[in-house]
Amino acid sequence: MVENITFRYVTPIFNHNPFVNFKHSGQYKDASYTINLKAYDSSELIELLKYGNNATKRKLQNIGESYRFSPSFTNVFLAVDIIQPLTKLREISSNTEESRDIFHEIVSALRLHTTRGLFFDYTYIFSSIPFPESTPDTRPAIIRELAGEVTNYSTLYSLTIPLSHGALGYGKSALPTQEHEPAKLTFQRLLYKEWDEANTFDKLLKLALEYHRLSFTLERVDHAFLILMVVFEALFKKEDENNINNAATRIAQFMATVQKDMKPIRKAFLSRPVTSFLTIRNGIAHGDPTLDKVIVEAQYLELYRYITEAIIKLIKIPDNAIGTNYYDDLEKHINEEFFKLKLS
């Protein structure tokens, strides 16, 4: 008698360094999981699709191709296996709440820790146990067509990146080796975090994560720039402040690794001639026709790095460190941590 069921999420990742080899495993509620992000050869790909039958393999023989991306082929896949005790409901389900949580949070963590984000079209979800023949097939027509004869295979359209490059420009994304452990820590924090809709910190962190993801779906770099400036102001600017001067100080202190780092970061937001984030933000928001696209593109890369690193650091803050007065508590936390840093 089968006692467990496996849900396998297979996601082709485009425009990614093929030498990546990220592995992680763990336990979440009643689920054990394994995660792999790597390049697969043809024999490994057969193993990856083992929960489908021959019809599945025929349908997915070009699983590494997509018309949305350039280059249009990949052999890099994110494979997530979730093993759970078998129940009557799970026997007729294509996924579970736990499997969705695990997949969603590893995608969020990898998006934050890769150099240019995570580019993909579809996630293919398999179940190790075929649906009973008597189970009504209520899947959308497009999914039934993709699945063919197979009853234990479905697809999930992913609202991620419909572009071949996004605002960060052309070039392959990568997950540097030194980011593997930090990515795992971010994933664990997101997976186990108990979100509270009545908590300002949680609401703003969710906004930041969602807008960060949204920035990849925008074709125009100026629009993505503006979205990330909204994230900056939401996270660091108090409601009663008329300008971003104090907010720039907060994020600069927050991002500094030694105290002398604070000044150039603050200057990037406020006071560099022509190229400050504030100047560019105002030009975009007010439709300045003289705004130089080359400058916007160059500064977007720097802004993206600061905002991404700030989100990662915020995720690491212990839940009890920020109370009901988010901005005051965050400012206190930032000051305490900043003055622990070496001067240079």
pLDDT digits (tens, 9 = 90+) for 77-97: 999 999 999 998 888 787 899
343, pLDDT greater than 60: yes
Question: Residue 188 domain-assigned?
Answer: no
CA distance 329 to 17: 40
Considering the domain architecture, whether residues 152 and 230 belong to the same structural domain is answered as no
Q: Which of 313, 328, 331, 311 has its CA nearest to residue 248?
A: 331
Number of structural domains the chain divides into: 2
Residue span of the structural domain in which 300 resides: 197-338
Question: Residue 172 domain-assigned?
Answer: no
Question: Residue 183 domain-assigned?
Answer: no
Considering the domain architecture, whether residues 81 and 222 belong to the same structural domain is answered as no
26, pLDDT greater than 80: yes
Give 3-state DSSP helix, strand, coil % of the chain, rounded to 5. 45, 15, 40
Considering the domain architecture, whether residues 13 and 101 belong to the same structural domain is answered as yes
Question: Residue 191 domain-assigned?
Answer: no
> Could you give the angle at the alpha carbon of 69 between the alpha carbons of 144 and 75, nearest 5°?
75
Residue 21: pLDDT band by 50, 70, 90 thresholds?
very high
List strands edge to edge, sheet with 31-39.
Answer: 21-28, 31-39, 76-85, 4-12, 122-127, 153-157
B/e letters for 16-50, b = 16+ CB within 10 Å, e = fewer, are: bbeebebebeeebeebebebbbbbbeeeebeebbe
Considering the domain architecture, whether residues 220 and 109 belong to the same structural domain is answered as no
Average pLDDT, the chain: 88
Question: Residue 58 domain-assigned?
Answer: yes
Question: Residue 179 domain-assigned?
Answer: no
Q: Identify which has the larger pLDDT, 35 or 167.
A: 35
User: 159-213, pLDDT tens digit by residue?
Assistant: 444 455 567 877 899 999 999 999 999 999 999 999 999 999 999 999 999 999 9
User: 129-164, pLDDT tens digit by residue?
Assistant: 865 544 555 555 555 554 444 444 455 444 444 455
Considering the domain architecture, whether residues 150 and 205 belong to the same structural domain is answered as no
Residue found by looking up tokens 């949070």 in the block: 105
Q: What residues contact residue 204 under an 8 Å CB cut-off, 6+ apart?
A: 234, 235, 326
Tokens of 58: 């025929």
DSSP state of 14: B
Looking at residue 151, what is its pLDDT? Answer: 44
Residue 243: pLDDT band by 50, 70, 90 thresholds?
very high
Considering the domain architecture, whether residues 114 and 246 belong to the same structural domain is answered as no
Considering the domain architecture, whether residues 268 and 330 belong to the same structural domain is answered as yes
Among 126, 141, 157, the domain boundary falls at 157
Residue 2: pLDDT band by 50, 70, 90 thresholds?
low
Question: Residue 167 domain-assigned?
Answer: no
73, pLDDT greater than 80: yes
Looking at residue 59, what is its pLDDT? Answer: 73
Looking at residue 149, what is its pLDDT? Answer: 44
Considering the domain architecture, whether residues 150 and 9 belong to the same structural domain is answered as yes
Averaged pLDDT for residues 115-135: 77
